[in-house]
């Protein structure tokens, strides 16, 4: 993923059979950062994308951002942040190989993954690559 001419991160999607199917869990989205990014910048971009995608109402977005804010750290160049959604559809955030916390807010996993996987994502080429589409 690039912003203007700056590389932000590399993204990889994992599933049990190596294919993307919406809401078929477990799945994991892993982002390996190419630069330092403050937690607040990540939260702001996440909220903006949910608004742009029309996901959740304002109260849901506030709850989702609050839950994410409680566990999300600043990231540094080379850090790998992974969002893992288990068989029950609950999302867990990991930094490198250490769990940061579970997010139990209803709808959060689908909304968070939609930033990268929705048909109308900001970067359709990245979405196609993550989904394994041409």
Q: What is the pLDDT of residues 69-126, one digit of tens each?
A: 999 999 999 999 999 999 999 999 999 999 999 999 999 999 999 999 999 999 999 9
From residue 42, how far is each of 17, 30, 45, 46 by CA, in Å? 30, 15, 5, 6
Indicate the domain borders of the chain.
2-131
Q: Record the pTM.
A: 0.92
Instruction: Give CA–CA dist 20/121, Å, rounded.
Output: 15
Question: Comparing C-alpha atoms, which of 6, 29, 39 is closest to residue 114?
Answer: 29
As a whole number of angstroms, the longest Cα–Cα distance in the chain is 39
Instruction: Give CA–CA dist 79/133, Å, rounded.
Output: 27
Is residue 5 very low, low, confident or very high in pLDDT (cuts 50, 70, 90)? very low
Q: For a pLDDT cut of 90, what percent of the chain falls above it? A: 87
The verdict on domain 2-131 having CATH code 3.50.70.10 is yes
Phi–psi pair at 80, nearest 5 degrees: -115, 115
């Amino acid at each position: 993923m690039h912003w203007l001419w700056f590389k932000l991160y590399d993204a990889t999607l994992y599933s049990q059979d190596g294919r993307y199917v919406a809401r078929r869990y477990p799945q994991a989205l892993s982002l390996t950062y190419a630069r330092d990014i403050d937690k607040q910048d990540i939260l702001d971009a996440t909220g903006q994308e949910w608004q742009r995608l029309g996901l959740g109402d304002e109260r849901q977005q506030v709850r989702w951002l609050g839950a994410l804010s409680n566990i999300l750290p600043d990231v540094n160049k080379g850090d790998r942040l992974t969002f893992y959604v288990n068989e029950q559809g609950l999302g867990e955030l990991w930094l490198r190989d250490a769990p940061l916390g579970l997010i139990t807010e209803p709808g959060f996993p689908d909304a968070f993954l939609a930033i990268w996987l929705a048909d109308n994502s900001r970067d359709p080429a990245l979405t196609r690559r993550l989904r394994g589409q041409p």
